[in-house]
Structure 1
Amino acid sequence: MSETLSTDVVVVGSGVVGALTARKLALAGRQVLMLEAGPRIQRDQIVTNFRHSARKDDLVAPYPNSEIAPFPDYKPQDNGYLDQTGPEDYKPEYLRVVGGTSWHWAAQAWRLVPNDFRIKSQYGVGRDWPISYQDLEPYYYEAELLWGVSGPAAMAKYSPRTHPYPMEGVTPSYLEQRVMARLAPKYEVLTNTTGRNSVPYDGRPQCCGNNNCMPICPIDAQYHGGIAAAAAEMAGVTLKTHAVVYKLEHNDKGKITALHYYDWDKVSHRVEAEVFVLAANAIETPRILMLSADARNPNGLCNNNDQLGRHLMDHPSNSATFYVDEPLWPGRGPMSPSSIQQLRDGAFRTDSAAFRIDISNSSRVAGVTAGAIREGLTGAALDNAITYRASHELSIKNVLEQLPDPKNRTLLSTRKKDALGLPVPAFSYSFDDYVHKGMQHSLAVYADIAAMLGATNVRYSAPGVYSNNQHITGTLAMGSDERTSVTNPVGRAWEYDNLYMVSTGVMPTVATANSTLTACALGLRTADAILGKI
């Protein structure tokens, strides 16, 4: 073992939430060490990897995976990092690199709606948050300024705002304009609120419509955790890569005293600090706490009430694809430019899941070409099919609310270990009737939208088959009662007064908005708590 390091604050994980939290603490004068299990990466290399990859539809293909700090990869075959115990598979797609998973995201930046914080009180389902929308609203805006969020003023009817967006929404594509106009009699299609520049902002250019926001924006018009990590270092944070944290030490006075990590040579290191901030994702953070089990805490730290890792949630989805009765020419502008927000809240949430409908603007050329070739088309028939299908095909998808369920959980595998000899994450996962009813509701909306767009050849995802959206929440849930939560209302562990968690995992419910903006707002609020401002 190497010599012990010492710092004021150690932050575990360099994703966007951890990096912005670390930056805020450093700017306040704290000495901050940020540890990242994975390597540094550079945008130009990832863009090159993407351009040379045969797997253009695979979000993780351009990113370097490793034996020591692996992340899940399912194509062309599952790399086996995760252990599925059923009854449903849960297959997240996260990265372990400097900047984290937001390198390959769509940068969607919706806030939750106020009723999301009180769903139990309002609708009798799920659980209430220990804080209100009003408590988080100033931190939402703080995060939006750091990201450079663009969005339409009309979005404020769903999530009230004290200040306008830093930028107006990205200019609507032709597809977006036509869908907005066609659906306007019944559905309000709004330009998405995103961490994407509609004008030059913070030294980065405006979006120029490359249409490969996922897996990488080639010009950094789209915000990501790599930018956040660089900003943290500029603020004075020391970043150490190739540092796989595997254990926390504690004393009998309610304090964490040190952590241990392996470097990629499998040498163990020890770090002492006054404050410990776990900012890995909602799978890897519970894993660290479970790996820290000892005689006093046989089920892991922060797990005296068996809440750690429970209430795993994501956003189940399926889709509908069809040909519109006019050419829309998808493929220019952001891949996911607009959405229907009006079904994110309402009295129906008592019985069935709320949802959002996303409109896709991804280029259809590769997919329809492959399909036409499989059909045996050649020559002029192939050319005509590609032209028609690529210009007329539209895909829409739902993003469904999932309620917290203690049976849905992440835990340590009892049958698989990684290259360091550490148990890999395992999952127990399923969907309940609340999700299934929400799916049926959204299928009716799909059919209505298709009819309004004069659709032909309507194709739905396989019945009962759900994809997830990598919005991993719930496993570190904050609450007002330590018997039913892992952290208190500012993200501090109940059992240790110098251990904090900043992650999508602290969200008690998943609602219907992509989770990262909310997690960043919570992380910035936790930083204020660490600094004694709350």
Structure 2
Amino acid sequence: MVSREPIPNIVESAMIRGSYDLVVVGSGFGSLFYLRECLGHLPRTARVALLERGAYLPHARQLALRSNSADPEDPDRPTSADRYYRRLEGEKPWNFTIGLGGGTLCWWGQAPRLHPSDFGMRRLYGRGEDWPISYDDLEPHYCAAEEIIGIAGDSDRVGPFRRSRPYPLPAFRGSGIDMALRERDPMQLALPAARDSIGALRAQCCAHGECRLCPQDAKFTALNGLPAVLEDARISILTGANVLALELEAGHARRVVFERRGRRQTVSGDHVVLGANAICNPAILQRSGLGHPELGRGIAEQMGANVEVQLAAHSGVDGGTAATGQNIRLLDGAHRRAHAAAAYYFDNRWKHHGLRLERGRHLNTLNLMVIAEALRSERNFVEVPEDWDALPVIHHATHGAYAEDGLRAALRAVPEIFAGLGLERVSEPVARPSEAHVQCTTPAGTDPGRSIVDGDLLHHRVRNLSVVGTSVFPTAPAGNPSLTAAAWSLRAARRLFGAG
């Protein structure tokens, strides 16, 4: 099946006038899934303004540019995340996409749920913070997000990720190593993927292994999966709009201040949804006079490493998609009191280490991604200059001993996973510079003194302001965050605009 390109309702600045029922900032997983749910409850006469800093790049244009992002002033020129923030010399990069669709464009489509224990770290293990929602609170919304996205997964073997509905698409075929492990290890699961396994919703995945710019358009993006949102007649989309701050009156967000093509202007709305990203969200709130001890603090993402595993017989590069399996033996347990949880992802590509050179052993190799959770740290923060034209500055001193110890423990345990399968060699680990998961700078919680938003993603002080996306995560669990951001947005919008 070939996906249809949407025709978004993109307008010029002069057409953004009057007051809107809803003003949405950003167009990634948080914003668009929140907006999708809202549209089901808003009247046909409602008016929505969507402000996106980046440009609109159809899929074919992304392939031509070899980029998910383009300069909004010059859409023929690719752009990168480091144009939108500053970092100190020697510190890690932070990867994200500036464009209509945000992170839905550049993600690789790995879509596991978070472990039920991830939501209660402080209560269970005395570490980090508890989330203001539980796995059971989010479970039906996980199902809804999976159906919207079109997730391929194994409904018969879900481990601790209890489900009320089956996956909408069947799981991909695992690699030889992956399938051999599934026969003997109950902690070896199919990795849920937002890539079409049978061509039912989009083109079928070709296992090309370049999912950031999927050549088939088989991976879910806002452009191939949410056309009804982008084309809804109630929505006016303004690209190239750099949101700077919110103007408050009597404790409510009344106007959104943005700049486009060198001109500063405002748009009014009854409710504002802030879903830029975990760097821009705290910057916008700080400029709006909504400073808080936790605002911008604790910027985090998981800590990862790649290792090559060589086995005598089994192949690690003959599966049906870019990554086929996950091993969750260290994803939860009493060890989380001492060090981080970790997940093992079975990459179905040989590009990191190359094919083996021994005769008859070319495919007997596996790139194993080892990912450890991280906690917020006061040493890591977003600095917001007083000059609105200056870029936010990212200070990231460390992933923290908790994450570092967890990653080391997970790497030491790699041989145990493959015991009995003819393990020949495990390479030295190679650090992964970025997981492209920017999180934790506007954390959600029940205590307004320790968090920015509540469990319904409403700002504690400004109750007509919702903050969405991964910036609201109180911790950075080992699982990929995009599906959870989408599900939490669906839940929050339903509770505010729908039946709860």
Comparing 313-322 with 235-244, greater Cα deviation is found at 235-244
* Mapped contact 1:99–1:228 kept (Cα < 8 A): no
Find the aligned partners of 1:348 and 1:329 in 2 and give their Cα distance. Answer: 29
How far apart are the structure 1 equivalents of 2:318 and 2:101? Answer: 27
CA contact (8 A) 2:65 2:78 kept: no
What do residues 188-243 of structure 1 show as CA deviations (whole Å, max 9, x unaligned)?
432211112223334x2332323322x22222221123335533123333221111
Question: For 1:103-142, what aligned pairs fall within 5 Å after superposition?
Answer: 103-142=105-144
1:457–1:165 distance in 2 versus 1, CA, 3 Å: closer
Selected match of 1:48 from 41, 52, 64? 64
Question: Cα distance, 1:179 vs. partner?
Answer: 3.4
Calculate the TM-score normalised by the size of structure 1.
Answer: 0.83
Matched residues in 2 for 1:113 and 1:62: separation? 30
Select the structure that is richer in helix. 1
Q: Could you tell me how far 1:411 is from its partner in structure 2?
A: 2.3
Aligned-pair CA distance for 1:153:
2.1
Note the alpha carbon deviations across 1:52-79, whole angstroms, 9 max, x for none: xxxxxxxxx56424679999848xxxx5
- Write the letter of the residue equivalent to 2:173: T
Instruction: Give 2:86's match in structure 1, choosing from 73, 83, 87.
Output: 83
Shift of 1:431: 2.4
**Residue 446 (1) aligns with residue 414 (2):** yes
The residue aligned with 1:373 is none
Q: 1:126 to 1:4 in 2, by over 3 A?
A: same
Distance 1:424 1:72, change over 3 A: farther
CA distance in 1 between partners of 2:319 and 2:116 (Å): 34
Output the CA distance in 1 between the equivalents of 2:357 and 2:168: 43
Contact 2:28 2:275 in 1 (8 A): yes
Deviation, 1:456, is 4.4
1:209 match: secondary structure = coil
What letter matches 1:220 in structure 2?
A: D
| Unmatched tracts of structure 2, length 5 or more | 1-12
What letter corresponds to residue 82 of structure 1 in structure 2? Y
**In structure 2, how many angstroms separate the alpha carbons of the residues matched to 1:255 and 1:461?**
50
Q: TM-score, normalised by structure 2?
A: 0.88
Paired with 1:64 and 1:392, the residues of 2 have a C-alpha distance of 39
1:396 to 361, 368, 379: 368
CA distance in 2, matches of 1:13, 1:200: 29
Give the whole-Å Cα distance in 1 for the aligned partners of 2:222 and 2:496: 22
**Corresponding residue number in structure 1 for 2:30:** 17
Matches of 2:203 and 2:68, distance apart in 1: 23
The structural deviation recorded for 1:500 is 0.5
Q: Aligned residue pairs: how many?
A: 482
Residue of structure 2 equivalent to 1:189: 188
CA-based RMSD of the aligned residues comes to 2.8
1:466–1:221 CA distance, 2 compared to 1 (3 A) = closer
CA contact (8 A) 2:350 2:367 kept: no
SS of corresponding position for 1:190: strand
Determine which of 462, 465, 473 is the counterpart of 1:496: 462
Instruction: Go from structure 1 to structure 2 and tell me whether the alpha carbon gap of 1:80 and 1:195 turns closer, same or farther (over 3 Å shift).
Output: closer
- Taking a change above 3 Å as real, the CA distance of residues 324 and 233 of structure 1, as seen in their structure-2 partners, is same
**Conservation of the 8 A alpha-carbon contact between 1:15 and 1:229:** no
SS in 1 for 2:20: strand
Q: After superposition, give the CA deviation of every residue in 1:464-499 in whole Å (9 maximum; x if it has no partner).
A: x55331222211111111000000110011111111
Q: Is the 8 A contact 1:72 1:82 kept in 2?
A: no
C-alpha distance in 1, partners of 2:192/2:412?
25
CA contact (8 A) 1:170 1:196 kept: no
The one-letter amino acid of 2:188's match is V
Instruction: Report the CA distance between 1:413 and its aligned residue.
Output: 5.0
Counterparts of 2:79 and 2:280 in 1: how far apart (Å)? 12
* Percentage of identical aligned residues: 26
* Residues in 1 aligned to 2:357 and 2:68: alpha-carbon distance in whole angstroms: 30
Give the superposition deviation at 1:8: 0.6
1:269 to 244, 265, 269: 265
